[in-house]
Amino acid sequence: MNNSKDPSDLRKVLLESPDQFKVGFDLAKNIKIDGEFDKIMISGMGGSALPGNLLRIYLQDLHRQKKSKPTAIFQNRFYSLPHESYDKCLNIISSFSGTTEEAISSFKEALENKLPCIGISSGGDIEKMCHENNIPHVKLPVPYPNFQPRTATGYFFASILQILINQNLAPDVTEEILNMSGKLKQELPNIESAGKELAKKIVGKTPVIYASAKYKGVAMVWKIKFNEHSKTPAFWNFFPELNHNEMIGYTNPQSKFFILMLRDPQDNPKNLNRFEATSGLLRDKGIDVQIIDFQGDDVFYKIFHSLILGDFSAYYLALEYGQDPTPVDMVEQLKSILAEMK
């Protein structure tokens, strides 16, 4: 069902997103590198980096369940590598386009210092540099024209997880994840409907997304989807930290806000009290608040059920505003300006 406001059919991309996990696992099934590692560094920006935030949440919970030592996941969102990249670290260079200048710069530094690397991209300079330097490369698909990095999360998440499994840095949970991605696909009609209704409530207001410290990465991704799909400002923070500073700002709000609180029913009871108490205080200030509970018992399912809801909420908000939800014109404009400045 193509919408005239959605010429690239982002809705179809969102409906197919649960299928990305199997593809991602398959793409990386033979990717392995020699060496002993106790951590990974993911160098990437924007939609090519955010899967690392989600993978960290998932793996920390997984290792807690297995009572095993977790693999440290570091992220680099800059032009040079941090010091963690240099000692028993597997460096993953992540750029969907393969042309992200920050990732390329970090890759060059890794190559100059002969650091263990694996590249992930759909092509571009990253793929070329991998082939020229005999570096393993995961080539991501571009299923549709104008396909955006922020909608490739499943490809990235599964590919990086498969690499960790291959390196014995994570247990093999591929079947569990594929089963849960199938359940997500069955729930898509309900999630889309909920997202559509949520978008109607947010129109004309600035969305602010709050979660617990554990799921702060999920709140950040919701924020990104409102920015890129809906072309509107959005912000995020997490409990309990926000109660010690940001909350005070609503004493004298300068805009109309809509607070979305992503709540895990299995959270620390003291933190759950903060959701209730804070929502009451904000409503007393005339701020709209909606608490949205994570669904399911498994952390993977909680993360991606919530993110699909965020995707559809931001998608339908874009349509409410008459915005094409796919392109990111300001990003392309900035790239052109920066290219002229070299």
Q: What is the pLDDT of residue 339?
A: 86
Could you tell me the strand order of the sheet in which 39-43 lies?
72-76, 39-43, 89-94, 117-121, 137-139
- The SS3 assignment for 44 reads coil
Q: What is the pLDDT of residue 2?
A: 56
Q: What is the pLDDT of residue 68?
A: 77
Q: What is the pLDDT of residue 36?
A: 92
DSSP string of 110-164, one letter each residue:
HHHTT--EEEEESSHHHHHHHHHTT--EEE----STT--GGG-HHHHHHHHHHHH
* Helices 101-112/124-132 angle, 10° precision: 10
Measured torsion, CA atoms of residues 123, 124, 127, 130, in degrees rounded to the nearest 10: -170
Closest CA to 207 of 320, 106, 295, 129: 320
pLDDT per residue as tens, the chain (342 positions): 457 899 999 999 999 999 999 999 999 999 999 999 999 999 999 999 999 999 999 999 998 887 777 789 999 999 999 999 999 999 999 999 999 999 999 999 999 999 999 999 999 999 999 999 999 999 999 999 999 999 999 999 999 999 999 999 999 999 999 999 999 999 999 999 999 999 999 999 999 999 999 999 999 999 999 999 999 999 999 999 999 999 999 999 999 999 999 999 999 999 999 999 999 999 999 999 999 999 999 999 999 999 999 999 999 999 999 999 999 999 989 989 988 997
Q: What is the pLDDT of residue 12?
A: 97
E strands, the chain, in order: 39-43, 72-76, 89-94, 117-121, 137-139, 206-212, 235-239, 257-263, 288-293
Q: What is the pLDDT of residue 69?
A: 79
Q: What is the pLDDT of residue 216?
A: 97
The dihedrals phi and psi of 34, each to the nearest 5 degrees, come to -70, 145
